[in-house]
A and B are shown apart, each in its own frame.
Chain A
Amino acid sequence: GAVVSQHPSWVICKSGTSVKIECRSLDFQATTMFWYRQFPKQSLMLMATSNEGSKATYEQGVEKDKFLINHASLTLSTLTVTSAHPEDSSFYICSAFGVASYEQYFGPGTRLTVT
């Protein structure tokens, strides 16, 4: 099946700094990718929809100026957490659709810890 990768798999940063997370579709092109956030013992929450060549669509309550999304190519979307705070510590997961539109492929996730 299709593969979605994320980099880094985990990152620790200091409060106030910015962190960039990459999401790549390795063997298919993805015009749309999704970014989710998952806090411990909670379910996935959709943050935003990333569209290649256009602005991302953010879910209600997600600050677009804090979580910058860039979908520069059909295989790469990036999420930048700006001015990170400890409450941004979470598991960030991206996803994309493969050739068969019913199957959403998820990346392995990135564990962000802000100290």
Chain B
Amino acid sequence: DAKTTQPTSMDCAEGRAANLPCNHSTISGNEYVYWYRQIHSQGPQYIIHGLKNNETNEMASLIITEDRKSSTLILPHATLRDTAVYYCISGRDGGSQGNLIFGKGTKLSVKP
């Protein structure tokens, strides 16, 4: 079973920030938080990852709580092309040991 929990679905208005929450209360000290997204009928796409500090890249920002039990992925200006299923995953070494377990994710619908 996935070690994270996410809301099943969310809506966001185009141009507004999309804030996607994730709970990972059982995350261990050496596990990272990874975010991937999957646009319909395509392979997943890496977005961002973090250990305990907040992270930002050209796609998104990742805010991790101090106790590391939850995090939020922020898409600052959502576009229609951001409509996808977003997966929050906890794991070691980027999943190089095959330990990336995908949960059901959050289906984000960006509306005009």
The stretch that binds B, out of A12-20, A63-71, A74-82, A105-113, is A105-113
| Chain B residues near A103 (CB-CB < 8 A) | 46, 49, 94
| Chain B residues near A111 (CB-CB < 8 A) | 41
Q: Report the bound CA distance from A106 to B38 in whole Å.
A: 10
Q: Chain A interface residue count: which class?
A: 20 to 34
| Chain A residues near B95 (CB-CB < 8 A) | 34, 97, 104
User: In chain A, what residue has the closest Cβ to B100?
Assistant: A104
In the complex, A84 has a CB within 8 A of chain B: no
| Chain A residues near B94 (CB-CB < 8 A) | 97, 100-104
User: In chain B, what residue has the closest Cβ to A46?
Assistant: B98
Q: Report the bound CA distance from A7 to B34 in whole Å.
A: 27
- Which of A4, A44, A101, A102 touches B102 (beta carbons < 8 Å)? A44
In the complex, A91 has a CB within 8 A of chain B: yes
In the complex, B21 has a CB within 8 A of chain A: no
Q: Report the bound CA distance from A75 to B46 in whole Å.
A: 20
Q: Are B44 and A93 in contact, CB atoms less than 8 angstroms apart?
A: yes
| Chain B residues near A6 (CB-CB < 8 A) | 43
Which of A95, A105, A107 is packed against the most chain B CB atoms within 10 Å?
Answer: A95
Mask: chain A, 31-55; 1 = CB below 8 Å from B; 0 = not = 0101010000011111001000000
In the complex, A115 has a CB within 8 A of chain B: no
Q: Measuring CB to CB, which residues of chain A are less than 8 angstroms from any residue of chain B?
A: 1, 4, 6, 32, 34, 36, 42-46, 49, 57, 91, 93, 95, 97, 100-109, 111
Q: Measuring CB to CB, which residues of chain B are less than 8 angstroms from any residue of chain A?
A: 2, 32, 34, 36, 38, 41-46, 49, 87, 93-96, 98, 100-105
